[in-house]
Amino acid sequence: MSDEVLLDNERVTVRRFVVTEGAAVRRSPADADHLWVIIKGGRLKSSATGRETLWREGRVIWCDGSLPLLDDAINSGASALEIVAVHLKPLAPSASPDARAAAYLNYPNIPGEDVLDNDRVIVQRFVVGPGQWEGIHAHEPNTFFIHVQGGLWAARSKNTPPQTYDHASPDGSVGWMPAIDISEEHQSGNAGDTPIDLIWVTLKG
């Protein structure tokens, strides 16, 4: 099982795991209170019980130590599984938590799916179709995105005309988002010809 760090800051460490055919998914006690996002799905089979389950692309799992299927589960499918795992770090003693309550991201033009809301995170999922713009919106502090299915983005704001990015975002790519006030009139759009499937994570505290 390969392991690659995609993002590491004072709030999170985000890793990509690739589990090849026949390989085991091995967790340690440190895997408690992780968020998992399935980028490339497949089948997992429990070594203990033999029970096999299907894990689809875009599935979000809150790992709190109570997922016995993942204990030495085997990739029983015909292709590799790709998982993005988010480890939440405690706030440093010197850090001042943001006084504002964590808020849901609101795209005026695209209804999102509310995936998870617990005492640590809010998780939402959006699918942005080709040629579609999100609509003007704000970004709160302490948010990041995970591309289940990437694509070619464009962006614009009050002071910036529409600009298309030089390269498409690949599947499984991750990025930390700076806070953006609604007065900036910020929005992004899908400049490609395939849908972009996007997970947004908002940290609480």
Give the model confidence (pLDDT) of 79-126 as tens digits: 999 999 999 988 765 555 554 568 999 999 999 999 999 989 999 999
Residue 163, H or E segment = strand 160-164
pLDDT at position 99 is 45
Cβ atoms 26, 72 nearer than 8 A: yes
pLDDT at position 136 is 98
Q: In what order do the strands lie in the sheet with 12-19?
A: 2-8, 12-19, 81-88, 34-40, 60-63
Does residue 73 surpass a pLDDT of 70? yes
Does residue 68 surpass a pLDDT of 60? no
pLDDT at position 72 is 73
E-strand stretches of 31-135: 34-40, 42-45, 52-55, 60-63, 73-75, 81-88, 113-117, 121-128
pLDDT at position 1 is 60
Residue 48 or 37, more confident: 37
Residue whose tokens read 């690949």: 170
- 2: confidence class by pLDDT, cuts 50, 70, 90: confident
- 65: confidence class by pLDDT, cuts 50, 70, 90: low
User: pTM for this one?
Assistant: 0.90
Average pLDDT over residues 48-76: 81
Report the amino acid identity of residue 136: I
Cβ atoms 195, 128 nearer than 8 A: yes
Give the model confidence (pLDDT) of 114-160 as tens digits: 999 998 999 999 999 999 999 999 999 999 999 999 999 999 999 99
pLDDT at position 49 is 86
| Ordered structural domains, the chain, with CATH | 2-88 (2.60.120.10), 113-203 (2.60.120.10)
Cβ atoms 61, 31 nearer than 8 A: no
The β-bridge relationship of strands 60-63 and 34-40 is antiparallel
